[in-house]
Each structure stands twice: as C-alpha cells, then as structure tokens.
Structure 1
C-alpha cells in the first residue's frame, strides 16, 4: 500500500488556525500523529498554542520534554523519528521529510505567501511522486475549508 501525501497550501489562514482542526479529525479517526516542525522555536510555539487554541476543545499532545512519547496521541518534534508509532505525519514550517514508509498519510502544510516554502513544497511533491506515493494538492477556499486542485 502506498502512502497518501496531501499538500495543504495555506493562503487564507495561518497554520495555527488550521492545524488544530486537522489534528482533531485525525484523533476522531483514532489515528496517532507526529507533527514535525522546522525548528525548536516553532515546535515550542505550537505546543503552547495547542494547549490554549480553544475554550471548548482539548487536543492531547506532547513533546520530548513531556516524556513518554509512546503514549502521546499527537507528538510534536523537530526530529525525523516516529516515537509514538503514528500513522499520520504532518510536516510544517518547511520541515525536511523523513522516509515515509510505514505512514498511511503524510500531510505537508506550507505558507502560500512564502516563496521559499513554495519552492520546498514543489521539491517535496517531486520527491514523493518519485517514491510512488499517491499525491494530492489542496488549497484553502475564500470562505474556509479546502478545495482539491490536483
């Protein structure tokens, strides 16, 4: 079975507004997730944000600082490891992709207003296509939500 790779082109809302909802959908499907960030600073900022993003929803997650990564339903890291045996891997903030074997789904989220992030996403697209992954491209709609473009 090939890995499904979804590219999410952020054009209307920043990562902080979009990521929690996508992570909650993964948890609703009983999928464990690892979120690979491009820097320690971004990882720490997302960790703090995910604890406080909503007054009505709770998103259980952790980092290496919390310990017990194997028990975290969502694990934030800058590394390429998979310490919680996740089925889904998110790549954010221009994170360098690890080998994707073993994942059912990889989600690449990139800022459409950042030319370097766009260039990275194009390179990742070629890489994943070359590995035989099923690749799709999604763009934010004006009113919210996502539209499949490729």
Structure 2
C-alpha cells in the first residue's frame, strides 16, 4: 500500500485533484474521491468535467446509479462501488476502506495538518506501507522529506 500526502497550501483540492485523477485514469486505474462535504464534491465534479476540452475526466456521484461504470466516483464514504483501487481523500479527514486501497492520495490543508501528522506517524509503524510527502513549490508539486 502506498499513501501520498499532499499538503495544500496554494491550491484547493478541486485544483489538485484533476491532475491526480488524470494520471490515475491514464494508467488504466479507477479512482474513488471521498469528501464528507457535498459542496466540495460538487466543486470537484465541475473541475473534473472541465479539466480541458480534450481531457475532461468522466465522473459520477455515489448514489446516482451506475456507480460501477464510473472511472472516477465521488462519495462521502471509502467504499469503491466503481471497483477503484486508488483513493483520493479530498477533505483532509483520514479514512480507510474495509479492503486496503493500492494507493491513497491524502490531501490536507492548514485546518487538518495536525491530523495528517498523526496519520503519518501511525502509517510509519505499519508493515508494507510506503508513504510520501508532497508540497507545492513554485507552482509545482515536489516531493519533500
């Protein structure tokens, strides 16, 4: 299992997620995006649909039907009804599914940085978990210590 910690300092999750989602989809995988905030999920949906004229990222909301067909599914729970092996946590609130995801993108900001630090410490003690920390620097994402 791999967990990538993304500290949001300049851009909100709805700006960062289309970049992550595009790479996930390009690799042939599916993505589950989780946030307890319905308004944030709506902003993310809009950002995914308008990622670019040739590169819109098809997505749907859990509970609307045909979840299993969605390459990107947005939900308030870490339940991959679309068969996703990749999870993006958009609201900074750590959660895991019943079955571990192959890769988790954990996005957090100033309000949830303390929780993220606690998750980092907890994961460090787990067998078979790789974790990486990314931060925004000069308009780009760079891997940090």
Is TM more than 0.5 here?
yes
- Secondary structure of residue in 2 paired with 1:48: helix
Aligned equivalent of 2:131, options 132, 135, 138:
135
Q: CA RMSD in A?
A: 1.8
Shift of 1:37: 0.8
What does the per-residue CA deviation read over 1:72-128, in whole Å, with 9 as the maximum and x for residues that have no partner?
Answer: 1110001121111111101111233124743211110112xx2x3111211221232
Give the gaps of 5 or more residues in structure 1.
none
- Structure 2 length normalisation: TM-score? 0.88
Is contact 1:5–1:106 with CA below 8 Å preserved after alignment? yes
Give the gaps of 5 or more residues in structure 2.
none
Is contact 2:79–2:97 with CA below 8 Å preserved after alignment? no
After superposing the two structures, state which structure 1 stretch, 66-75 or 45-54, moved more.
45-54
Aligned equivalent of 1:86, options 75, 81, 84:
84
Structure 1 moving runs of 4+ over 6 Å: none
State how many pairs are aligned: 144
